[in-house]
Amino acid sequence: MASYKLMVKDVIKQADILLEVVDARFPDETRNLEVERDVKRSGKPLIIVLSKCDLVSKETLQKAKSRLSKVAPTVFVSSKERYGTTMLRHKILEIADIQGRNILIGSLGYPNTGKSSVINGVAGKNKAGTSSISGHTKGVQIVKAGSRIVFIDTPGVIPFGDNDEYRQGLLGVKDATHLNDPIGVAMKIIAHICDNNKSVLEEFYNIEIKENNPEKVLELIGLKGNCLKKGGEVDEMRIAIKIINDWQRGKMLI
Ligand SMILES: Nc1nc2c(ncn2[C@@H]2O[C@H](COP(=O)(O)OP(=O)(O)OP(=O)(O)O)[C@@H](O)[C@H]2O)c(=O)[nH]1
Ligand SMILES: [Mg+2]
């Protein structure tokens, strides 16, 4: 963690502008207030990027944007649907107000929020490596993204003390193969979707949810998907892993 802190401080020191990339599905959970404070202290401009905006409704996005705009200029991007990256490029050029040399942009954020994908979106090419498995970007990398814009891509930073595996599963920081309790994590994901919009689960798994009880919903999904053990009861582990994968791979929109 100490080396992460040093890395963040170093990127802030080198860059002209900082991007904080947050997942539009969890803007609050994937913000890093410590990083925001460090950027503020440096006096350098910050742009917040709400990434993966194809995975949330317009209303959810607008609410998040108006809240975050009070902290820093906020742009939403979907690297998948190639949306928002031109706007981001303009915003960078406008805010940097630097003439005659390249602008260096440090991209910071929680693991797996789409930092490298945003950079690729602005570059218009897949220059920075990406993966659905968190922790893909290992070290700091310099990526040229067209004329005048150079990014520093960084590995994701988990705020100090955040080691709750249920949260990490929900946020996609740890994939199913690295979780100790996939069933518990799947229930957390179910509860999160039910809190936002349970019809997403109903439509995706073709079930009807009568009771907001994650354990029962898991059971229902298992039954519907014919995910059963030899004796006929639901194979909870297998269905839990499928739910985690479906969620983390962005198959459900909330
Ligand atoms: N649906 C959707 N998925 C996205 C979007 N951007 C990134 N992803 C997916 O999110 C996962 C993580 O993307 P990365 O760009 O590797 O994220 P990162 O923040 O660089 O991740 P680390 O380097 O591991 O911290 C990949 O599976 C991407 O395909 C997006 O706009 N929409
Ligand atoms: Mg990356």
The preferred substitution site among 131, 134, 137, 249 for testing ligand 1, maximizing ligand atoms within 8 Å of CB, is 131
* Residues 144-160: tens digit of each pLDDT: 998 899 999 999 887 76
Say whether 147 sits in a helix, a strand or coil. Answer: coil
Q: Which atom of ligand 1 is nearest to the CA of 111?
A: 25
- Select from 153, 182, 204 the last residue of a domain: 153
Task: Let me know whether 109 and 30 are in one domain.
Answer: yes
* Residues 23-32: tens digit of each pLDDT: 999 998 899 9
Task: Let me know whether 131 and 203 are in one domain.
Answer: no
Structure tokens at 107: 């991209």
| Mean pLDDT (whole number) for 161-182 | 87
Structure tokens at 31: 């913000």
Q: Which of 94, 98, 140 is nearest to 119 (CA)?
A: 140
DSSP label at residue 55: G
Q: Which domain holds residue 238?
A: 165-248
**Whose structure tokens read 């030899």?**
230
* Residues 25-74: tens digit of each pLDDT: 999 889 999 899 999 999 999 999 999 999 998 888 999 999 999 999 99
Q: How many helices (H) and strands (E) does the chain have?
A: 10, 6
Which residues sit with Cβ closer than 5 angstroms to ligand 2, an ion?
115-116, 137
- Measure CA 91 to chain center: 21
* Residues 172-229: tens digit of each pLDDT: 888 899 899 999 999 999 999 998 889 999 999 999 999 889 999 999 999 999 999 9
Q: Is 220 exposed, middle or buried (0-12, 13-18, 19+ CB in 10 A)?
A: buried
- Select from 105, 123, 153 the last residue of a domain: 153
